[in-house]
Amino acid sequence: MRIKLLDPLVAQRIAAGEVIERPASVLRELLDNALDAGAKTLVASVTDGGLEQIKLMDDGEGIEKEDLPLLCESHATSKVRELEDLFHIQSMGFRGEALYSIAAVSSITIESSYQGQDAFQITVDNGKKGAVLPSGTRKGTVVTVERLFAEIPARRQFLKRPSTEATMCKQVLQEKALAFPEVAFRFLSEGKVRLDLPPATKRQRILDVLAINQNIVPSEMIELYDTAGRFSLYAVCSTPALYRSDRSHIKLFVNKRPVDEYSLVQAVTYGYGELLPGGSFPYCYLFIDVDPTLVDFNIHPTKREVKLRNKAEIHHQIVSMVQSQVRRTIPRLVKQHIQEENEPLLAPYATKRDGSQQSHPAVAERRASYEAEQRKPVDAQWFQKAREILGNSATVQTSRTSESEDIWAMQKEESSYEYLGQAFNLFLVAQKGDNLYLVDQHAAHERLLFDQIREKKQIQNLMIPISFEVDRDVDAYLKEHQDVYLNLGIKLERIEDLLWHLSSLPSLYRSIEKELVNFIQTMTGDAQEVEKGLYAIVACHAAIKAGDKVDRLMALSLLDKVFSMEEPVCPHGRTFVVRLEKDELAKAVGRT
């Protein structure tokens, strides 16, 4: 077939397909333009999910009359002038494709008053440009997009129901609102206000957005700050008391743009480590401000992909920030009062005359004591202390008991025990003499895996080495620090520039090679951070989880090793064994 130039309208609609997928895509581009214009109030509305109409009103600087005819031309933009401008972009938009693409698949009317002067408007209907006419807009800009995809019915067939499309538009506005808390955002659907976010602080804006469909206790959301080199970090994230079963609320923003970058999401989860139960993830809204010369957003029209020249450094700093600033809660094993002799059994709540409930004083006192203990700060040296425990170089004083005698030492006098079973798929239950022991299966297995990692047993040579590429900064780090990994049983070889082979590793890592390689590709920390990170990978993937069923043979094997330990402490410093005395249980049920 002969080669021919495409009809301009066909070419325009092909290009539009990369930028405009659905009504939410339109709103995203319009919001970017309004924010670049310095708007402090944005009001968005949609009709029929955005297919009939999308309107955005802003109070920004506005557009000059002479510029209106250029708005819907290809690559027409006020944000980039020269090639060098691409290497230090600070505006939200820069490609000059958004309005051009929208105009190819809809009827778009732009009304604008430049700095309070007389207003004018222009309409472009599916690529056909109208004249510039006077308008009644008093300040800023109003953009109205109507009949989206009306002349491309095949595209409409791939869209969802209008209510779902409207929800997607609302989510786009929420996402923009998170990055610009100083701006007021309002969203209307079918004429009704669905979202109203006044100007707020960064933390308050995140809480306001979360409150839309999440039941969040504000005190459980904390702020983190850090700076390093040519970037800074700010995050609002949850304490270990608040978590989810998925990563959907780990949100990343680079220079105020929402981005999808799995390795940095992974850095957040690494930072929390074992603060959270297995399979759980925090709420974390992370904002990264990077020197624009180190960032490239010019990858995909949606701008959700980003290339960072210093990604490994940022990854390391995120892990460090979360680890050092998120407080750990370490429960204590204490001999607590259960019930004094002649004291009646207490209900947790007493009923007042008005029908409301109040905590019984004794119950409230015990709860207050527990909550005060939970609020105690974490020991930042937990990992070093774990190393000392295992190396027998120091005695670590744990807070597992307030009694004068050493309960754990006393239990070792009774060599035999009876395994009673598993409770809640979380605790292994065993009886020794007149004591009942509950063992946290996940924390106990973590400790045993930690021991195996440090002993570096069962190193395996790979018949086929695993090849992987690294960024320049990681390449330089590995050339100088191969011994850090070698001391942990991991052999790395540099094949050529930026290309490495993994040729041997401990058997523990055989099932998680991909995670191990991902870790090596981003880590540039010291030896202790490497060891800590590798431990976290194994603990996350290999340890028995809370909720796992444990067969009898595995339970007995685990308990044998637990009862032979000098200290039943996991690598984080948390005691994972609870002891219940027969006499205390008898008192609890009134059998004295």
Share of the chain above pLDDT 90, in %: 30
pLDDT at 232 over 90: yes
How far is Cα 433 from Cα 531, in angstroms, rounded to an integer? Answer: 39
When pLDDT is cut at 50, 70 and 90, the band that residue 404 belongs to is very low
When pLDDT is cut at 50, 70 and 90, the band that residue 16 belongs to is low
pLDDT at 476 over 60: yes
Of 420, 436, 451, which is closest to residue 555 (Cα–Cα)? 420
pLDDT at 167 over 60: yes
Query: What pLDDT does residue 216 have?
Result: 84
Least confident of 23-32, 236-245, 580-589: 580-589
pLDDT at 398 over 80: no
Least confident of 3-7, 62-66, 145-149, 419-423: 3-7
Residues 208/285, Cβ–Cβ less than 8 Å? no
The residues pairing with 224 across neighbouring beta strands, listed in sequence order, are 235
Q: What does pLDDT average to over the chain? A: 78
Parallel/antiparallel/unpaired status of strands 184-189 and 41-47: parallel
More confident residue, 401 or 110: 110
Task: List Cα–Cα distances, 357 to 217, 350, 352, in angstroms.
Answer: 21, 6, 6
Tell me: the pLDDT tens digits for 521-542?
888 878 878 887 787 777 666 6
Show the DSSP H helices in 21-161 as ranges: 23-36, 98-104, 153-156
Query: What pLDDT does residue 359 have?
Result: 40
Could you say which DSSP state residue 543 is in?
S
Residues 571/325, Cβ–Cβ less than 8 Å? no
How far is Cα 137 from Cα 132, in angstroms, rounded to an integer? Answer: 14
Q: What is the CA radius of gyration of the chain?
A: 30
How far is Cα 509 from Cα 439, in angstroms, rounded to an integer? Answer: 26
How far is Cα 414 from Cα 430, in angstroms, rounded to an integer? Answer: 12
The residues pairing with 357 across neighbouring beta strands, listed in sequence order, are 351
Query: What pLDDT does residue 447 have?
Result: 81
Task: List Cα–Cα distances, 461 to 399, 451, 512, 514, in angstroms.
Answer: 42, 21, 15, 16
pLDDT at 294 over 70: yes
Of 156, 143, 165, which is closest to residue 33 (Cα–Cα)? 143
Of 330, 571, 550, which is closest to residue 452 (Cα–Cα)? 571
Amino acid at 70: L
Residue whose token pair is 């990264």? 288
Query: What pLDDT does residue 178 have?
Result: 96
How far is Cα 81 from Cα 62, in angstroms, rounded to an integer? Answer: 20
Query: What pLDDT does residue 55 have?
Result: 96
Query: What pLDDT does residue 98 have?
Result: 77
Residue whose token pair is 């890592």? 509
How far is Cα 181 from Cα 35, in angstroms, rounded to an integer? Answer: 12
How far is Cα 585 from Cα 436, in angstroms, rounded to an integer? Answer: 10
pLDDT at 459 over 80: yes
Q: Average the pLDDT over 540-562 and give the result.
A: 81
Share of the chain above pLDDT 70, in %: 74
Of 229, 168, 200, which is closest to residue 25 (Cα–Cα)? 168
Query: What pLDDT does residue 90 have?
Result: 57
Query: What pLDDT does residue 315 have?
Result: 92
What single string gives the DSSP state of each residue in 441-466?
HHHHHHHHHHHHHHHT-SEEEEEEEE
Tell me: the pLDDT tens digits for 107-154?
999 999 988 888 999 999 988 888 999 988 778 999 999 999 888 887
pLDDT at 234 over 60: yes
Of 452, 455, 413, which is closest to residue 435 (Cα–Cα)? 413
When pLDDT is cut at 50, 70 and 90, the band that residue 348 belongs to is very low
Could you say which DSSP state residue 51 is in?
T
pLDDT at 337 over 90: no
Query: What pLDDT does residue 366 have?
Result: 37
Tell me: the pLDDT tens digits for 28-48?
999 998 998 899 999 999 999
* Cα of 291 vs its chain's centroid, Å: 22
Q: Average the pLDDT over 268-295 and give the result.
A: 87
How far is Cα 237 from Cα 260, in angstroms, rounded to an integer? Answer: 18
Tell me: the pLDDT tens digits for 185-196?
999 999 999 999
Residues 577/437, Cβ–Cβ less than 8 Å? yes
When pLDDT is cut at 50, 70 and 90, the band that residue 386 belongs to is low
| Residue 75: φ, ψ to 5° | 60, 30
Tell me: the pLDDT tens digits for 425-458?
889 999 988 888 899 888 888 788 777 766 656 7
The angle, 0 to 180 degrees and rounded to 10, between the axes of the packed helices 162-179 and 23-36 is 30
Tell me: the pLDDT tens digits for 213-227?
888 888 889 999 999
**Domains of the chain with bracketed CATH:** 8-197 (3.30.565.10), 216-325 (3.30.230.10), 406-592 (3.30.1540.20)
pLDDT at 494 over 50: yes
> Can you say whether residue 590 is alpha, beta or left, with left for phi > 0 and alpha for psi between -120 and 50 degrees?
left
pLDDT at 345 over 80: no
More confident residue, 310 or 590: 310
Query: What pLDDT does residue 177 have?
Result: 96
The residues pairing with 257 across neighbouring beta strands, listed in sequence order, are 254
Query: What pLDDT does residue 110 have?
Result: 92
Residues 213/171, Cβ–Cβ less than 8 Å? no
